[in-house]
Chains A and B, each alone.
Chain A
Amino acid sequence: MNLASETRNDVVIIYVKEERLDAHNSTELKSAVQKLFEDGKKNVLVDLKDVRFIDSSGLGALVSGFKNAISHQGNLKLSSLQSQVKSMFELTRLHRVFEIFPSTVEAVENFQS
């Protein structure tokens, strides 16, 4: 899976550079996020700008990351969801769970506040 990352103001941003986040590649994202929290990072932002398609496994990997954040007293937020990807969060009520921001800039600002 193609993931890029950068750190901005103590927030680790993971960019999912894939068109699809599905059962074929979601385990890699799950492991990458898990490792960040295990390594002591507290603030993780997953940016989904390039993701055009997400399935239940992709949603599950993000839920796992969210739970990992809680168990490590950290935060996991999301940014830049395409409209159809966002509708999957709404269908599964996960938009009530995740803090979702239109851009990485807005998300990073929110971590600071």
Chain B
Amino acid sequence: MKRASLGEFEEVVLLTVAVLEVQGQAYGVAITHEIIEETGRSVRLNQIHAALQRLEDKGMVKSEMGEPTAERGGRRKRLFTVTAYGRRTLQEIQDVRASLWTRLVSPFKLSTSL
């Protein structure tokens, strides 16, 4: 694995963006809720915002302002999309893990050996 890649939390955020961008729902609140649901962690909005900012600085995501909606008091959302570099990074991480899993001599059994 190369250095200066992703932190574990950043990886989760980036994955979530990748999942949500299809419906055009990859923005702060939606990402937060999604992560809370998927991982059960108690995440705060500011952590997500900071992580997205870091990902953008690293070039993993890009963003643009969406259309104004009434529910946010007429404020626009910032919608994120994963860049090609971001996708490749996620893919690489996945590959490294897969190869490590295949090298396990005896995969864990989810049973109790008596």
Same complex: no
| Chain B residues within CB distance 8 Å of chain A | none
| Chain A residues within CB distance 8 Å of chain B | none
